[in-house]
Amino acid sequence: MPGSDDKTMSAIETVVRVRNKNGLHARPSSVLAETALKFTGTTIRLRRGDVEVDAKSIMELLLLEAHCDAELALTVEGDETEAAVAAIRGLFEREFDIAL
């Protein structure tokens, strides 16, 4: 039946700011990728300038070279966009729950 199993794919674009003083280094990248991987039906991308990466990849996240106060464009598309944005935004706001 047409439309009975269709899922509406929605996208959310927003900006997040790196707040921790050491920037988006290996540990926060690991926490971010681990969180992003929980949203299997969702594409999560971060962009800084001309560099856009998959937030589910630690190695790609490191390519952003995002220092303290860097603003990153966050694009989330898929099944759980709102939950994914809330989870990722929360990580940035809480400085990835890492005490340095």
Extents of the domains making up the chain: 13-97
Digit-coded pLDDT (tens) for 80-99: 999 999 999 999 999 998 86
Catalytic-labelled residue, pool 25, 45, 48, 56: 25
What proportion of the chain, given as a percentage, has pLDDT over 90? Answer: 84
25 labelled catalytic: yes
Which amino acid is located at 15 in the chain? Answer: V
Nearest to 79 by CA among 42, 38, 33, 37: 42
pTM passes above 0.75: yes
Superfamily of 13-97 according to CATH: HPr-like (3.30.1340.10)
Q: Determine the Cα–Cα distance for residues 1 and 30; give it in Å rounded to an integer.
A: 43
